[in-house]
Amino acid sequence: MSKIFRFQLKPRHKHLLRMIRENRFRLGFAMICMLIVGGSTGAVAFLVKPILDDIFFKQNAFMLKIIPLAVIFIYFLRGAAQYGHTYLMNYVGQSIIRQLRNQLYDTITCLSLSFFYQERTGRLMSRVTNDVNIIKGMVSTAVTGALRDCFSIISLIFVIFYRDWLMAIFALIILPLAFYPVVELGRRVRRVSTGCQECMADMSSFLHETFAGNKIVKAFGMEEYEKQRFFRKTRALFRMEMKAVAAKALSSPVMEILGGIGVAFIIWYGGYKVINGTSSPGTFFSFMTAVLMLYEPVKKLSKLNNNIQEGLAAADRVFDILEKESDLVEKPNPVHMKREPHSVRFENVWFRYEDDWVLKNINIEAKAGEILAIVGMSGGGKTSLVNLIPRFYDVSKGGIYIDDIDVRDMSVSSLRNQIAIVTQEPILFNDTIRENIAYGNQNATEEDITRAAKAAYAYDFVQSFAKGFQTTIGELGSRLSGGEKQRICIARALLKDAPILILDEATSSLDSEAEMLVQKALENLMKGRTTFVIAHRLSTIAYANRIIVLVKGEIVEEGHHDELMEFGGEYYKLNQMQLKN
Ligand SMILES: Nc1ncnc2c1ncn2[C@@H]1O[C@H](COP(=O)(O)OP(=O)(O)O)[C@@H](O)[C@H]1O
Ligand SMILES: [Mg+2]
């Protein structure tokens, strides 16, 4: 049986059912509304007999007054119940959507960085926007519409049997025959729907990339190429959607043809009985009305299977993410770090993303308050090395110790609370400049923010905007230069005022003049902090306590600027290269 329905209750379905159950009072009330709608459907079919037999044949004057009133009453009640049902069911559906979206966001934002590098942003967005909507379709239209349709069917079947039970048995033999092809089609719908959603996700990630990177598309004259790529995607989506439509659209005609056969039989057999005198026209038409009215809810029920299949496929994609566990695990009783100067030590650290070692046997130590500079050609592993300190990634072998405590034994939040970081790419959010600077430091006062901005040499250009610190990044569009963005990022790190500072080519987008200014600010900032500074221009790190030269993941030289220059190795060569430029 489970093979026919392909439906096994997994933990994820239980999760969904639990969410549905939380709304049981609304659902209960909606159920009452559905009972009324279902009952009124039967009542209308039932009334056909007294209308025909009493009003038209017997010409009963009392019935003439009572039945129209009854009809009005039934439709009023039905209307109210219909409204209540639709409202409540959508309430439940929408609140489940909301919960799922919140849970998705909660899970996704907490997943490790490697997850974000593997998944494309657009696909993730599609999970939160599209797939969740399909689940809502399953919950609020399918599951509950199904109950209403079941009630309608039950009340109509009651009328059918009440009017002529023998004929009813014949008519109902047709129904199960219609069942099998509908289930078969449902299976196909589920398969195709997964394809559709994958196409959608693919398309939204494509849009995300080409809109965000539109400048590059233009610069390389790739509009036509991207257009063609997009057209191919919409064509694939179109084909998938049409396959889904074909599978879905087939269920109705199948039902209809079988229904037609049933109706033909009823006309023949029922008409024969009326001519015979064993039945009244009222009975016949009441029966006939009920059978015809059965068609609508039964048809909807047959679509229900499609909706459920689509919904389950979407639910699988959503729960695949919800059930993902971050690779970043915290020990049961993690150490909480205090905000004070720390030493940082790398001990036999090996690290790789996939197959190749990116860092090989790294041994370095920065004592509390020391400045450690890391230099080397790009791709050497500098960013990877500093990313290990806040546990953006975990080491593959060896360990990193802060004050002799392994970073993996610390609570992640307290660890990251010790670290202020200026990354290679300046990343700002579409909020005001003030909020961007105060990011992660909600208690900052106006003076704090102004001081940080001044120290990062961001104050003057921010003041030149009409709204000053209240300007949103979005309003500025792409007006902020790379250097200006970087200075806001530096202000943000300054404001965090953390004991460990990581500067990953923090001044690379600045011109030499601005760099000199910001450099002074950074030097002030580094005082008393354990600093890892990845330098873009070697002239900016002459003051470092120690300089480490990283080549292809290995430390090849280590020492003070003067020592290394005298040594005449890699560092010397790098210096010579920069001087030439
Ligand atoms: N997220 C990642 N996934 C896989 N490989 C990566 C990732 N980030 C960097 N790498 C690889 O690791 C190596 C070191 O990169 P990186 O640490 O960024 O060097 P640097 O900062 O010195 O330029 C490079 O070969 C790069 O291709
Ligand atoms: Mg780098």
The answer to the question of residue 400 being in a domain is: no
Q: Tell me the residue type at 350.
A: W
Residue 284 placed within a domain: yes
* Higher pLDDT, residue 295 or 232: 232
pLDDT for position 476: 74
Question: How remote is the CA of residue 535 from the centroid of ligand 2, in Å?
Answer: 10
**For residue 7, what pLDDT is reported?**
55
pLDDT at 547: 94
Ligand 1 atom 8: residue of nearest CA: 384
Does residue 546 fall inside a structural domain?
yes
Residue 470 lies in a domain: yes
Instruction: Judge whether 230 lies within some domain.
Output: yes
Q: In this structure, are 38 and 114 located in the same domain?
A: yes
Quick one: CA dihedral 426, 428, 432, 436, positive or negative? negative
Amino acid 4: pLDDT:
43
Question: Which candidate, 271, 146, 190, 217, places its Cα nearest to that of 4?
Answer: 190
Statement to judge: residues 372 and 295 lie in one domain = no
Confidence of residue 238 (pLDDT cuts 50, 70, 90): very high
Q: How many CB atoms lie within 10 A of CB 488?
A: 22
Contacts of 130 (CB under 8 A, 6+ apart): 197, 200, 201, 204, 314
Residue 271 sits in the same domain as residue 372? no
Q: Is the pLDDT of residue 359 over 60?
A: yes
Can you list the pairs that 265-272 forms with residues at least 24 positions away whose Cβ atoms lie under 8 Å?
265/170, 265/171, 266/167, 266/171, 266/291, 269/167, 269/170, 270/164, 270/167
Classify the C-alpha dihedral 162-164-170-171 as positive or negative: negative
**Residue pLDDT, tens place only, 447-467:** 999 999 998 888 999 999 989
Q: Does residue 287 sit in the same domain as residue 373?
A: no
Judged by its nearest atom, the ligand closest to the C-alpha of residue 425 is: 2
Taking the CA of 503 as reference, the closest ligand is 2
Could you give the CA distance from residue 466 to residue 470 in angstroms, rounded to a whole number?
9
Q: What is the residue with the minimal CA distance to atom 27 of ligand 1?
A: 379
* Residues shown for the chain: 581
Mutate to test the pocket of ligand 1, among 358, 377, 534 (most ligand atoms within 8 A of CB): 358
How far is 578 from 581, CA to CA, in rounded Å? 5
CA of 381 to the centre of ligand 1 (A): 6
pLDDT tens digits along 413-442: 999 999 999 988 888 888 899 999 999 788
- Could you tell me the pLDDT band of residue 1, with boundaries at 50, 70 and 90? very low
**Tens-digit pLDDT profile for residues 148-175:** 888 888 898 898 899 888 888 877 776 6
* Structural contact between residues 82 and 16, judged by C-beta atoms closer than 8 angstroms: no
CATH of the domain at 470: 3.40.50.300
Per-residue pLDDT averaged across 307-335, rounded?
Answer: 86
Q: Are residues 196 and 274 in the same domain?
A: yes
Element (DSSP H or E) covering residue 430? none
Share of the chain above pLDDT 70, in %: 96
- The average confidence (pLDDT) of the chain is 86
Which CATH number fits the domain that encloses residue 287?
1.20.1560.10
Does the beta carbon of 388 lie inside 6 Å of ligand 1? Answer: no
Q: Which of 322, 355, 387 is the last residue of a domain?
A: 322
* 372 and 306 assigned to the same domain: no
Atom of ligand 1 nearest to the CA of 553: 14
- Judge if the beta carbon of residue 510 lies within 6 A of ligand 1: no
Does the structure show a pLDDT above 80 at 184?
no
- CB of 87 shorter than 6 A to ligand 1: no
Atom of ligand 1 nearest to the CA of 377: 22
Read off the pLDDT of residues 508-538 as tens digits, 9 standing for 90 and up. 777 777 777 778 778 777 888 999 999 877 8
- Mean pLDDT check: name the lowest of 111-120, 298-307, 500-509, 550-559: 298-307
pLDDT at 549: 94
For residue 63, what pLDDT band results from cuts at 50, 70 and 90? confident
pTM for the complete prediction?
0.75
Q: Are 219 and 81 within one domain?
A: yes
67 in the same domain as 152? yes
Decide if 189 contacts 76 (C-beta within 8 A): no
Per-residue tokens: 367: 């004592």
**75 versus 167: which is more confidently predicted?**
75
Q: Which residue has the higher pLDDT, 142 or 411?
A: 411
Give per-residue pLDDT as tens, 380-404. 999 999 999 999 999 999 999 999 9
- Give bridge partners of residue 549 from the DSSP assignment: 375, 557
182 is a domain residue? yes
SS3 533: strand
Name the β-bridge partners of 345.
365, 401
User: Does residue 580 surpass a pLDDT of 50?
Assistant: yes
> Is the C-beta atom of 116 inside 6 A of ligand 1?
no
Tell me the pLDDT band of 38, cut-offs 50, 70 and 90.
confident
127 C-beta closer than 6 A to ligand 1: no
On the question of pLDDT at 343 being above 90, the answer is: yes
- In whole angstroms, what is the distance from residue 74 CA to residue 189 CA? 37
Query: Which is more confidently placed, 567 or 1?
Result: 567
Tokens 């069911």 sit on residue: 89
Region 342-368: what's the mean pLDDT? Answer: 94
- Tell me, what's the pLDDT at 475? 76
In terms of domains, do 318 and 433 share one?
no
Total domains present in the chain: 2
Whole-number pLDDT of residue 6: 52
Asked if the model's pLDDT at residue 494 lies above 90, the reply is no
Is residue 486 scored above 70 in pLDDT?
yes
Domain residues for the domain of 257 are: 10-322
Cβ partners under 8 Å of residue 300, min gap 6 = 145, 146, 149
Cβ(358) to ligand 1 under 6 A? yes
Asked whether the beta carbons of 200 and 237 are under 8 A apart, the reply is: yes
Rg for the chain (alpha carbons), in Å? Answer: 35
Question: Are the CB atoms for 162 and 286 separated by under 8 Å?
Answer: no
Is residue 216 located within the same domain as residue 297?
yes
Residue 37 domain flag: yes
User: CB–CB of 196/240 below 8 Å?
Assistant: yes
**Whether residues 16 and 112 fall in one domain:** yes
Coil, strand or helix at 469: helix
CA of 551 to the centre of ligand 2 (A): 13
Q: Which ligand 1 atom minimizes the distance to the CA of 505?
A: 21
Domain boundary among 322, 338, 353: 322
- Indicate whether 266 and 372 sit together in one domain: no
Is residue 396 assigned to a domain? no
384 pocket-lining for ligand 1 (C-beta < 6 Å): yes
